[in-house]
Amino acid sequence: MEYNKQRTMLIAVLLIIMWSCCYNHAQLSSDFYKESCPSLFYAVRREVQRAVTRERRMAASLLRLFFHDCFVNGCDGSILLDDTSSSMGEKTAGPNNNSVRGFDVVDKIKSRVERLCPGVVSCADILAIIARDSVLLLDGPGWSVKLGRRDSTTASFTTANSGVIPPPTSTLDNLINRFRAQGLSSRDMVALSGAHTIGQARCVTFRDRIYNESNNIELSFALSRQRSCSAASGSSDNNEATLDIHSPGRFDLNYYRQLLNYRGLLTSDQVLYSGGSTDHSLVVSYSRSLNAFYRDFVRGMVKMGDIKPLTGSSGEIRNNCRRPN
């Protein structure tokens, strides 16, 4: 009798632990706003489409916002908070300063959504939706976006600066470890790196590679990039180059084909194909199969969106994405 009682108590404890671990994720669902804001997806898509039509590169910037948000204390919209007199936000942290952009687009989307459904949709969820729409608008894959996140009331300059966002000079081990710390596998990391099939990078992020990594960079590629990025820091620091030289405005597999030819722009790109564990199992596979890349990219995006969301009564629904209520 006593044994059965102890066994029942043990099972109950295990169920509570399992419930508490999975509860946040279980609260996220693709139809979270089905009743409270039924026109949400259409409203967001329309604004993203306008922004990308004006500037095709904006799709990459909006996708990057979601990544940089989720890697700092979870997908909570904290990257959108402005600095205040009493606290520093994440916008001026090293990985973001003079780099992340698209905040004005988020503001327009939030304003439109607030007119439709006041006080209902979080800024964190808006980031998740615009990431998906940005990929779709550049001919990439679509997926069902899980929603129900709430917004943080604070940002963390310190955490954003702590290395949780892998720098463009990352080694393969650092990339694997940084993604693993977020619950993402090596496969997720390589697939999500494929987001670099769109977008641009500044000279300061790839200068060292094009001048000092002669052993794993194709010579003509390095020379072509040196034309707009001088060896010494100065006026060319903010000059930009496309991450994918073949089809920078289309979400495809040319990024991986570039790596096979040692034409990765960033060190953190080329390390994916430099004699390490991800070479043939992943990079070669994605370079040959768009379906394989899309499948794993979508899985990675959904998993990334599950990183420590605020749900239930945690956080808030900001009225303005730039400041807490």
Q: For residue range 28-85, what is the model confidence (pLDDT) as tens digits? A: 999 999 999 999 999 999 999 999 999 999 999 999 999 999 999 999 999 999 999 8
- Of 122, 118, 120, 182, residue with least CA distance to 153: 122
The predicted pLDDT at position 303 comes to: 98
**Same-domain status, 211 and 161:** no
- Of 96, 47, 29, residue with least CA distance to 67: 96
The predicted pLDDT at position 9 comes to: 52
Q: CATH no. for residue 60?
A: 1.10.520.10
Q: How far apart are the C-alpha atoms of 34 and 64, rounded to whole Å?
A: 27
Report angle CA 134, 135, 136 to the nearest 5 degrees. Answer: 90
DSSP helix/strand/coil, 251: coil
pLDDT tens, 269-301?
Answer: 999 999 999 988 899 999 999 999 999 999 999
Binding residues: 69, 72, 74, 76, 78, 90, 166, 196-197, 244, 252
123 contacts 77 by C-beta, under 8 angstroms: yes
Residue 8 domain-assigned (yes or no): no
Q: How far apart are the C-alpha atoms of 254 and 288, rounded to whole Å?
A: 10
pLDDT tens, 253-271?
Answer: 999 999 999 999 999 999 9
Task: Report the run of H or E that residue 263 belongs to, with start and end.
Answer: none
pLDDT band at 4 (very low <50, low <70, confident <90, very high): low
**Same-domain status, 144 and 266:** no
Residue 34 domain-assigned (yes or no): no
Residue type, 293: F
Binding residues for Ca(2+): 69, 72, 74, 76, 78, 90, 197, 244, 252
Burial of 4 (0-12, 13-18, 19+ CB in 10 A): exposed
Last residue of a domain, one of 118, 145, 165: 165
**Same-domain status, 50 and 138:** yes
**Same-domain status, 44 and 156:** yes
Binding residues for substrate: 166
Two structure tokens written together for 66: 């979601």
**Same-domain status, 267 and 195:** yes
Q: CATH no. for residue 250?
A: 1.10.420.10
Chain centroid to Cα 213, Å, comes to: 27
Choice among 9-18, 47-56, 110-119, 166-175 with the minimum mean pLDDT: 9-18
Residue bearing the bigger pLDDT, 120 or 18: 120
Out of 25, 68, 246, 280, pick the active-site residue. 68
| Residue 68 annotated among the catalytic residues of the structure | yes
Residue 110 domain-assigned (yes or no): yes
Bridge partners of residue 320, in order along the sequence: 323
pLDDT tens, 208-245?
Answer: 999 998 889 999 999 999 999 999 999 999 999 999 99
**Range of the structural domain that residue 160 is part of:** 39-165
The predicted pLDDT at position 110 comes to: 98
Residue 310 domain-assigned (yes or no): no
Domain count, the chain: 2
Q: How far apart are the C-alpha atoms of 322 and 155, rounded to whole Å?
A: 11
